[in-house]
Amino acid sequence: MAVALFLLFDLGVLVLNFAISYQISEDARSINLAGRQRMLSQRTAKALLAVESARAKGLSASQDLAELRDAVSLFDATLQGFQHGAILPSGGGQPVFLKAAEGPVAVQALQQAQALWTPFQQALSQVLNGQANPATLQAASAYAQAHNLELLTLMNRLTSALEATASQRATTLRQVQTAGIVLALLNFAFILFKFLRRLRRLDAGMEAVTRENREILASVREGLFLITPDFRLGSQVSQSAQVLFGRPLQPGEGFFDLLAHMVDGQALQDAQDYVALLFAPHVKEALVQDINPLLEVHALVTNRLGQAVPRTLAFRFNRVRAGAVIHHVLVTVQDISDRTLLQTQLQAERLRSQKELALLLAACETDPALLRQFVARSEASLLEINDLLRGSAQGKPALRHALDQAARRIHALKGDAGALGLDSLVHQAHAFESALLLARGQNLDDISGDPLLALPLPLEALLTRMAALKSLAGIQRNSRLSGIGLNAALTRLSLDTASALGKRIAPVVQMDHHGELGADAADLVREISTQLARNAVVHGIEAPATRQASGKAAAGRLEVQLGKSGAEWILRVRDDGRGLNASSLRQKLLELGWYTALQLESFDDRQIIGHIFKPGFSTADAADVHAGRGIGLDVVQANVQRLGGRLTLASTPGEFTEITVRFEV
C-alpha cells in the first residue's frame, strides 16, 4: 500500500506538472502575441502615415500600402483570437493556437481595444483597397494619431494581465511540486520505519539459523582443505580449491610451497607466522582473526583454457579442535575478484559523487544571479574552446595558437570558479588546463597526437558540469554582473586563496562602477581583476611570519578599485607584499632557459620585469590550482589589448606592487 501511495503521489504530481506546464506554455505564447500586438499598432500607424505622405508627394505608396494591409490583417486576426481563440501565425511564421484570454482585466482591455479598433478598421477599409481620397486618408490618419497611444496602452494592459496569470500558474506549479515531494518523503519515511522493524526481527532469526548451519555451509564453500600442524595439506581437498589455484592440489603438499608463487617474500613470512599462531593453543582464535595477512591475495591463475587470468583470492582460517587439542586448521578460499572490482568501482563512483555533491552544495550557497552569469560565460568559453580545437587543423603553428587561446579561456574560467567557491570545478578546470599545456608542449616539435586525443573527454566533462549547474540555476544569458556582486566574488577569491596558502589578507574591493560598463568590456575587466587579485595573493603577499619579521602587519593589504576619470576608466590592483625583484626574475629566466647569461646582461630592469606578462613565465616553484602555469598575467595582457587599453606597473621590492589598467569604452 505504501509503494502504491508513493507511485500515486508521483503520478499525481507528474499529471499536474504536465497540465500546469502546458497552461504556462500557452500563457507564454499569448504573452508573445500580446507583445506583437503593441508592435503591430505602431506599425499600422507608421505605415498609414507613410501612405499619406507618399500620396501627398505624388509618389507610389504600393509598398507602404502592402505593409499596412499586413499589419491591419494580423492585428485584427490576433485581436479576434484573444477574444474567441484562433489559429494564428507565430513570430516565426508557424501556425499556433491562441486561446481566448481569461480574467476580467484582460477581457475588459480587449473589449475597449475592440471598441477603438472597429471604427479605425472601418476608416482604413477604403485605404486598404486603394480607393481612398485625400479626405478619407486624412481622416484615417487623424484617427490613428488620436487613438494609437490609447490602443497601445490597452495592449500593454493585456500583456500585463497575461503575465500575471502566467505568474500565478507558476506559483501553483511550485506549490504542487512542493506538496508532492513532502508527501513522497513522508511516505518514504513510513516505508523505511516498517522496513527497519522487519529487518531487526529477521536479523534475530537469521543469527540463530546461521549458528545452526555454519558447519553445513562450510562444506560447500568455494575452496576447502585442511592443513596439518606441520603446515601440509590434509588428505581431502575440494575440487573447487583446485580450480581456484589453477592446478591440481596434492594431499601432503606444503601449504606455504603453494603460496610461494602467489605472494611476495614478506607476505609469505607473515602468513607463516599467522598460521603458527593458529596452532598455538594459548592464543585465542578471536584475537588473531583481524590480523589475517591473506584476506586479499592477487595472483595469476591458469584457467581451464590454459590462459593466465588475474584473480583476487581471500583465505580464511578456522581451528578444528578435539577438546583442547588443535588437530587442523580449516582453510576456506574464495574468489573475490568481482567484489574487489566492484569495491574499486564503488569507491571511484563515491569519490565522483562526493565531488558532484560538493559542487552542487557550493552552487546552492552561491548568489543565483552570480551563478547564472558564471555558467553562461563558462559555457560560452567552453564552446569557444571546442570551436578552437576543431578548427585548428591547419598545421602545428595554428594548433599551437589554438591551444594557447584555449588555455587562456580555461584559466579565466578557473579564476571565476574560484571566486564563487566552486572548488571541485576549479580542480576539474585545472586538470583540463594541464592536459592543454601537455598537448601544447614547449615548442612546435613537442606537439603530439596522443595528448590531443585526450582533450575531448575532460572538455565534455566540463560541459556536463555546466549543464548540471545550468539546470540548477535556471540560466538567463542576458543577465549582468553588478559591481556589488563582483566585490563579493573578488573578496571571496582573495580570502580563499590566501587561506589555502596559509596567508592572511585584508582585501579592499571597490568595483561598484563595474555594472556601468558594456557587456564585453565588463567581462574583460572582470577577468583582469580576477587574475590580478589572485596573482597578488599568490606572488605578492608574504606569509604572516615573513611579514612580521620585516616589520609589516601579519595580514597583507590588497586593494582592487575601478573608477572613472573623465572618459577614461582606471582599474588599479595594489598589494603591500614583497614587490618585484629584477635580480630574482633574471635568475628565473636563466633557469627556464629562455636566455643565456650574456643575453640577460643586455636587458635593463624594466625589460626583465616585463617578462612576467609572457606566456609560460611564472616565479612559482611548482604549479598548482592557484599559480605556476604562467597563464594568469598572459590573460591580463591579452584582455588589456582587447580593451584597447594600456597597462602600467609600479613596484618597490619589499614594499608594494601596483598594476594600473587605463582604457576607454
Task: List the domain boundaries for the chain.
Answer: 2-187, 223-335, 354-479, 481-665
Q: How far apart are CA 128 and CA 68, in angstroms?
A: 7
The predicted model gives 435-441 an average pLDDT of 73
Percent of the chain residues past pLDDT 90, beyond the cut = 8
Is the CB of residue 188 less than 8 Å from the CB of residue 6?
yes
- Cβ partners under 8 Å of residue 395, min gap 6: none
* CB of 224 closer than 8 Å to CB of 331: yes
The pLDDT score that the predictor gives to residue 182 is 82
The pLDDT value recorded for residue 216 is 46
Q: How confident is the model at residue 378 (pLDDT cuts 50, 70, 90)?
A: confident
So what's the pLDDT on residue 58? 77
Query: Do the beta carbons of residue 167 and residue 25 sit within 8 Å?
Result: no
| CATH, range 481-665 | 3.30.565.10
Which segment, 135-139, 249-253, 482-486, is predicted with the most confidence on average? 249-253
| DSSP assignments along 170-220, one per residue | HHHHHHHHHHHHHHHHHHHHHHHHHHHHHHHHHHHHHHHHHHHHHHHHHTT
Grid coordinates representing 89?
Answer: 501565425
Average pLDDT over residues 609-634: 69
CA 82, 83, 88, 92: dihedral to nearest 10 degrees? -10
CATH 3.40.50.1820 holds for 354-479: no
The predicted pLDDT at position 478 comes to 44
Eight-class DSSP state of 262 = T
> What's the Cα-to-Cα distance from 639 to each of 84, 128, 140, 412, 642, rounded to whole Å?
56, 56, 56, 11, 5
* Cα–Cα separations (whole angstroms), residue 344 to 295, 426, 585: 16, 25, 46
pLDDT in tens, 546-564: 999 999 999 999 999 999 9
Higher pLDDT, 153 or 282: 153
How far is Cα 224 from Cα 221, in angstroms, rounded to an integer? Answer: 7
| Look-up of cell digits 556536463 | 464
From the DSSP assignment, how many helices (H) and strands (E) are in the chain? 21, 12
Q: What is the dihedral of CA 586, 588, 591, 597, to 10 degrees?
A: 0
Residue 481's pLDDT is 47
Q: Record the cell numbers describing residue 253, joined without a space.
A: 603438499
Look at 352 and 38; give whichever has higher pLDDT.
38
**Is residue 328 within 8 Å of residue 228, measured between CB atoms?**
yes
- Work out the average pLDDT over 427-443: 74
Report the distance separating Cα 604 and Cα 581, nearest Å: 12
- Cα 567 to Cα 569: distance, rounded to the nearest angstrom: 7
Within this chain, domains 2-187 and 354-479 share the same CATH topology: yes
CB atoms within 10 A of CB 652: 10
pLDDT of residue 331: 85
pLDDT value at position 350?
66
Counting Cα atoms < 13 Å in the Cβ hemisphere of 43 gives 18
28-32, 286-290, 529-533: range with lowest mean pLDDT: 286-290
The residue assigned the cell 582533450 is 455
- Cα 84 from chain centre: 46
Residue 624 has pLDDT above 70, yes or no: no
At 592, list the grid cell. 627556464
Give the right CATH number for 2-187 from 1.20.120.1730, 3.50.50.60, 3.40.50.300, 3.20.20.70. 1.20.120.1730
Is the pLDDT reported for residue 573 higher than 90? yes
* pLDDT-wise least confident of 150-154, 293-297, 465-469, 549-553: 465-469
The arithmetic mean of pLDDT across residues 314-322, rounded, is 85
Q: Distance between CA 456 and CA 462 in Å, rounded?
A: 10
Contact status, residue 399 vs residue 392, Cβ threshold 8 Å? yes
- For 631, counting Cβ atoms within 10 Å of its Cβ (0-12 exposed, 13-18 middle, 19+ buried), the class is buried
In angstroms, the CA 191 to CA 178 distance is: 20
Residue that has been written with the C-alpha cell 556589488 in this structure = 484
Average pLDDT in the 415-419 region? Answer: 76
Give the type of residue at 133: N
- Other C-beta atoms closer than 10 Å to the C-beta of 176 total 17
For the chain, report the end-to-end CA distance as a whole number of angstroms. Answer: 67
Amino acid at 103: G
The per-residue DSSP string of 601-645 comes to HTS-HHHHHGGGGSTT----SS--SSS-SS-HHHHHHHHHHHHT-
**CB-CB contact of 33 with 78 (8 Å):** yes
Is the pLDDT at 437 greater than 50? The verdict is yes
Q: How many residues does the chain have?
A: 665
Average pLDDT over residues 307-315: 82
Would the pTM count as exceeding 0.85? Answer: no
pLDDT at residue number 349: 63
If one compares 221 and 476, the residue with the highest pLDDT of the two is 221
481-504 exposure pattern, b = at least 16 Cβ within 10 A, e = fewer: bbbebbbbbbbbbbbbbbeeeebe
User: How much of the chain is in helix, strand and coil states, percent to nearest 5?
Assistant: 65, 15, 20
Query: How does residue 647 score in pLDDT terms, banded at 50, 70 and 90?
Result: very high
> Distance (Å, rounded) from C-alpha 491 to C-alpha 494?
5
What span, in angstroms and rounded, lies between the C-alpha atoms of 99 and 83?
A: 8
Q: What is the pLDDT of residue 353?
A: 58
C-alpha cell recorded at residue 462: 566540463
C-alpha closest to that of 411 among 448, 440, 391: 440
pLDDT at position 332 is: 84
Contact (Cβ atoms closer than 8 angstroms) between residue 436 and residue 410: yes
Q: Can you spell out the DSSP letters for 463-522? A: HHHHHHHHHHHT--TT----HHHHHHHHHHHHHHHHHHTT--EEEEEE-GGGGGS-HHHH
pLDDT band for position 475 (cuts 50, 70, 90) = very low
Topology classification of domain 223-335: Beta-Lactamase (3.30.450)
3-state SS class at 587: helix
Determine the residue type at 35. Answer: G
Distance CA 231, CA 267 (A): 16
Scan for cell 564453500, then name that residue.
221
Please check whether residue 659 is in contact with residue 558, taking contact to mean a CB–CB distance below 8 angstroms.
Answer: no
Residues 6+ apart with CB under 8 A from 379: 463, 466, 470, 475
